[in-house]
């Protein structure tokens, strides 16, 4: 879609001098809600989101890119949002993940490391009658359907 392509250009332009920030996704919903998810290697501040929102909003208005009224929302991806970029995995090393792999199986465990092709998690494996053990498991990105960060309230 043309609007989304222009918004991507505007966000990339705004964060070009901030290598720690990165665009995760741009979605224009049928309800004319424009959602921009931006993140950072160390997170992203409200001030950064506001600056991106002002930059994008100003240019969309100037260029009359969206003809109808729309809502613009700039934020980091929500807690329940699946990871979309490999860069998001890197910032979540040490956190617990739920990884759905091809075939529908779900692996849960702490993200230990990652490289260009795989992630390695310490998955809890429980055998009948025995205490659960942590087993290092490597998962190929090509076999990952969806990954979410598990939030613990302990």
Q: What is the CATH number of the domain that holds 130?
A: 2.30.30.100
Examine the domain organization and report whether 11 and 36 are in the same domain: yes
Query: Once rounded to an integer, what is the mean pLDDT over residues 101-117?
Result: 95
Dihedral of alpha carbons 38, 41, 46, 48, sign: negative
For the ranges 75-79, 86-90, 109-113, 137-141, the lowest mean pLDDT is seen at 75-79
Query: Once rounded to an integer, what is the mean pLDDT over residues 21-42?
Result: 95
Examine the domain organization and report whether 66 and 9 are in the same domain: yes
Query: Once rounded to an integer, what is the mean pLDDT over residues 108-128?
Result: 91
What pTM was estimated for this model as a whole? 0.83
In a domain, 92, yes or no: yes
Q: Domain of residue 26: give its range.
A: 2-75
**CA angle centred on 24, ends 1 and 120, rounded to 5°:** 130
3-class secondary structure per residue, 128-143: CCCCCEEEEEEEEHHH
In a domain, 154, yes or no: no
Q: Across-strand partners of 110?
A: 96, 122
Q: Is 1 exposed, middle or buried (0-12, 13-18, 19+ CB in 10 A)?
A: exposed
Examine the domain organization and report whether 66 and 8 are in the same domain: yes
Confidence of residue 125 (pLDDT cuts 50, 70, 90): confident
pLDDT at 102 over 90: yes
pLDDT at 153 over 80: no
pLDDT at 154 over 80: no
Q: What is the CATH number of the domain that holds 30?
A: 3.30.300.70
């Amino acid at each position: 879609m043309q609007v989304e392509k222009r918004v991507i250009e505007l966000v990339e332009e705004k964060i070009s001098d901030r290598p720690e920030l990165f665009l995760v996704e741009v979605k224009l919903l049928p309800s004319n809600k424009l959602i921009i998810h931006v993140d950072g290697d160390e997170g992203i501040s409200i001030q950064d989101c506001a600056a991106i929102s002002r930059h994008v909003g100003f240019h969309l208005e100037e260029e009359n890119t969206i003809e109808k009224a729309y809502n613009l929302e700039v934020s980091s991806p929500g807690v329940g949002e699946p990871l979309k970029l490999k860069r998001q995995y890197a910032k979540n090393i040490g956190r617990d993940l739920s990884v759905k792999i091809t075939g529908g199986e779900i692996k849960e465990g702490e993200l230990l490391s990652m490289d260009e092709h795989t992630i390695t998690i310490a998955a809890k494996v429980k055998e009948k009658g025995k205490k659960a053990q942590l087993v290092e498991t490597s998962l190929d990105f090509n076999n990952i359907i969806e990954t979410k960060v598990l939030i613990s309230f302990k």
